[in-house]
Structure 1
């Protein structure tokens, strides 16, 4: 029988040995630097999400700027889902084999270089036919970085945080990615207001600056000189270890399963696969909303700015829901109950939004529904991550939580491709209203972006 007490930044565990009457005291300590590493992971998640979603709120302007159709604009987001599947397994292996630091460094530099390369696509002197391939290459590099930082929160929480802080740490790190999406949804439509896309380079440089800052933070211990240090120096003297000098809990002291052995155990765990499939479906729906929100609302006469606002409200509501659920679960340990309640609420709010999105001049109702979808949907995100670790112990944290994200990305790819295939041309009446996006960009005679009906084949006949 063991007695555990928590005081400040230390955890004491007293255990009675069966072989001796002596009382053995083991003190577990947590370190303040854990908050710095958490901050680094949050910053990288934010910058990577901003790179990912840069072009979704301005799909019509992007198509005009790079002379491509709507599908190629969607590929700029879709590449993140595609790359996350093979690199998701790679990230799990790196985290379990080489540790947290290696994963942070890989994500930081892939993301920073990818964001920087995107700017080359808008340089003067670049041939028009080469602009989109260069842009896509930059997006692809950043996409490869995503799993390495998205899979890190559960590993960080398990190795650096006490048991009563893990759900909160997971919540903060996991919500950084949606926060980046929120930021992009607000900043990009505000910066890119012209139809010809001449504002896009400025927006790209903003994203690059944030991404490169994330790279610096990930590879150096909070340099306060304020003057530039080279990336090589920061990479060398960055986050110095994957684990703290002493473990924060008894479970952190134990070795986790090897990657292949962990996969074999997961395949036999029915409870985990129920969580994997249901969580993946929710993540896929969120990804689809994020990718197509501008294109869903545009044909009904809503502007790019309103679509960006809806995306921002969804994330803001989600962060609120995640904070409340994370704190509640840390105290109550009611993982299953919170997940079920959140899932039910997200389904109802999502269905309501799909119906409201078919109507014109319902901005308040549409914004309310998408906000509620965020509140309930994101409430289960960090809780599901932590629960995946709990139900699969001693499988490595990066493996169990990482496969949840891989499941969401695979289902997201399927949903996005199916929706792209099912989208129908607009009627002439709806097309005239749809040109309201970005002040009529989609109605330009030279534009290759044609708004489509995303809310049902029958809508053009029933909604006039």
Structure 2
């Protein structure tokens, strides 16, 4: 039976320099996966002609990322909780690499179904990736850097989305001859297959599950609990974690508001090519560059949000401000489309992205604070399930609205949904920051014992932190 390593809460907490290497490898992995998401949708007009399919079929190449995520999210979250970061990420990279090579070997006008299969595998791989940023940040980084590290981890996904907007329109031109379109698509798909192969090699050679000593008192406390060897007990603990999340009123409100925000972003991203071409004929590359602007601005918003949360701990206040400005950004983008100056759409797209994408990292960290000591991978996994469900639903409805009533009706509907999400965010109790409370109390402790010993309980805002992982606070 494996023995638990029992660190002290103060004297044996340490931040290792290699934490930045772990974060960098993960960012590459997440970036490589996200590049595939919008690959076909951002060149929708070209892909529909080449594969001889409808625009809805091309929309499904993006929607399938959400559909494939939902049924596997909880098993992947359990895998992350039980086996750690290395096993989870290597599994995801292996599935992603397989799907990418299937796409690379199936770029023919009559092979859309095979290309869609490869896209489905790449989409499935994200279940091993999206829940990692908060967990990696907590496992490797100390209290003063954990939110920034989580934001940088989320940025990896955003960089991939940005490249997914930029590269396909630049590589795949709207040639008259399908054979020329096929040549461009083949070059694109081979490039997108080589990248995850290299990431898989990096993970196998360099990525580590966790540091020898924990980086924070909160992590030290969790390590004090001896590992559970009974698999049925493992499952019971995981189910107890899920029950704790779904009976936590603040988390449920965050779950719904987070899903709405992410779902609206999915719609804007998936339908961006179609919306831009309604107002600016022949602007395929501009649509990609507007998407790039959205995501680059979102990266800045994520990083700024992480820094503010680390320094100020303004979780609810910042979440409210960012959500409100996301609503403003959507309305501003709608207005500038009507103006007829495409440069204005670049500006308002950047405004929309700065706040809407910037909210994603904030939501993950806010959830970790509200639900400690539930593992970050579990709370992140549930949030991501919410975002995928809302993303699937909103994208399918948005596509129908766009075809039937036009882009203005679609964007106004998205704005109305954001108003609902903003209202839910205002109802969250922003003072119930359990991880902050635990860190404040435990950082002064000098010793802790294993599961058979006594671990002090901490009372904060009438919340009792349990002495075992089987009784998470609701």
Using the size of structure 2 for normalisation, the TM-score is 0.78
Shift of 1:29: 1.0
1:412 and 1:108 map into 2 onto residues whose CA distance is 23
Conserved? CA contact 1:57–1:293, under 8 Å: yes
Q: Following the alignment from structure 2 to structure 1, what is the Cα–Cα distance between the partners of residues 101 and 323?
A: 38
Aligned 8 A contact 2:68 2:123 in 1: yes
Q: What's the secondary structure of 1:53's corresponding residue? A: coil
8 Å CA contact retained: 1:168, 1:326: yes
- Partner secondary structure for residue 54 of structure 1: coil
**Aligned match of 1:19:** none
Q: Could you tell me how far apart the structure 2 residues matched to 1:148 and 1:203 are?
A: 24
String of CA shifts for 1:25-59, please: whole Å, max 9, x gaps: x2311222221211111011111111111112101
Q: Is 1:348–2:301 an aligned residue pair?
A: no
Encode CA deviations 1:180-205: one digit per residue, 9 max, x unaligned. Answer: 11112111111111333231111111
**Relative to structure 1, is the Cα distance of residues 341 and 83 closer, same or farther in structure 2, using a 3 angstrom cutoff?**
same
Count, aligned residues: 388
Could you tell me which of 370, 391, 407 is aligned with 1:454? 407
Q: Pick from 368, 382, 389: which aligns with 1:403?
A: 382
Segments of 5+ residues of structure 2 without an aligned counterpart are 1-6, 226-233, 413-474
Q: Distance in 2 between matches of 1:107 and 1:138?
A: 14
Question: 1:457, CA displacement in angstroms?
Answer: 8.7
Question: Could you tell me how far 1:377 is from its partner in structure 2?
Answer: 1.5
2:31 is paired with a residue whose SS is helix
Q: Distance in 1 between matches of 2:398 and 2:33?
A: 25
Match of 2:252 in 1: 273
What is the rounded CA distance, in whole Å, between the counterparts of 1:49 and 1:40 in structure 2?
A: 14
Does structure 1 conserve the Cα–Cα contact (< 8 Å) formed by 2:103 and 2:114? yes
Contact kept in structure 1, 2:298 and 2:356, CA below 8 Å: yes
Partner of 1:209: 194
Q: Return the match for 1:190 from 152, 156, 170.
A: 170
Alignment of 1:82-231 (within 5 A): 82-122=67-107, 128-129=109-110, 131-195=111-175, 196=178, 197-198=181-182, 199-221=184-206
CA contact (8 A) 1:259 1:396 kept: no
Answer yes or no: is the 8 Å Cα contact 2:154–2:302 preserved in 1: no
Distance 2:153 2:410 in 1: 40
In 1, Cα distance between the equivalents of 2:408 and 2:172?
26
> Shift in Å at residue 360 of structure 1?
6.0
For residues 194-231 of structure 1, the C-alpha deviation after alignment (integer angstroms, 9 at most, x for no partner) is 3332311111112112222222222212xxxxxxxxxx
Instruction: Decide which of 265, 275, 298 is 1:296's aligned counterpart.
Output: 275
Residues 296, 455 of structure 1: 8 Å contact kept: no
Alpha-carbon distance in structure 2 between the residues aligned to 1:104 and 1:333:
29
CA distance in 2, matches of 1:288, 1:271: 26
Alpha-carbon separation, structure 2, partners of 1:350 and 1:423: 16
SS in 1 for 2:409: coil
- The answer (yes or no) to whether the contact 1:92–1:151 under 8 Å persists in 2 is yes
Q: Check whether the contact 1:51–1:139 (CA below 8 A) recurs between aligned residues.
A: yes
Contact 2:9/2:221, CA 8 A, preserved across alignment = no
1:323 lines up with 2:276 in the alignment: no
Question: Offset of 1:164 from its aligned partner?
Answer: 0.8
Which structure 2 residues correspond to residues 357-376 of structure 1 after superposition, within 5 A? 357=337, 359=338, 361-376=340-355
CA shift for structure 1 position 63:
1.1
Rounded Cα–Cα distance in structure 2 between residues aligned with 1:194 and 1:380: 35
Offset, 1:147: 1.7
**1:70 equivalent in alignment to 2:50:** no
Q: Deviations over 1:371-420 (max 9, x none)?
A: 10111112222121111111101111111111111111101111111122
Q: Is the 8 A contact 1:110 1:141 kept in 2?
A: yes
Q: CA RMSD in A?
A: 2.1
CA drift at 1:13: 5.6
Taking structure 1 as reference, are residues 390 and 458 closer, same or farther at Cα in structure 2, changes over 3 Å only?
A: closer
- Which residue of structure 1 aligns with residue 393 of structure 2? 414
Segments ≥4 residues shifted beyond 4 Å: 11-14
Q: Is the 8 A contact 2:8 2:220 kept in 1?
A: no
Tell me if the contact between 1:317 and 1:371 (Cα under 8 Å) persists in the aligned partners.
Answer: yes
Please state how far the C-alpha of 1:115 moved relative to its aligned partner: 0.7
2:430 alignment partner in structure 1: none
Larger strand percent: 1
Structure 1 gaps of 5+ residues are 1-10, 15-25, 222-238, 426-451, 460-464
Over residues 49-85 of structure 1, what are the superposed CA-to-partner deviations in whole Å (9 max), with x where a residue is unaligned?
1111111210111111212111111111110011111
Aligned to 2:221: 254
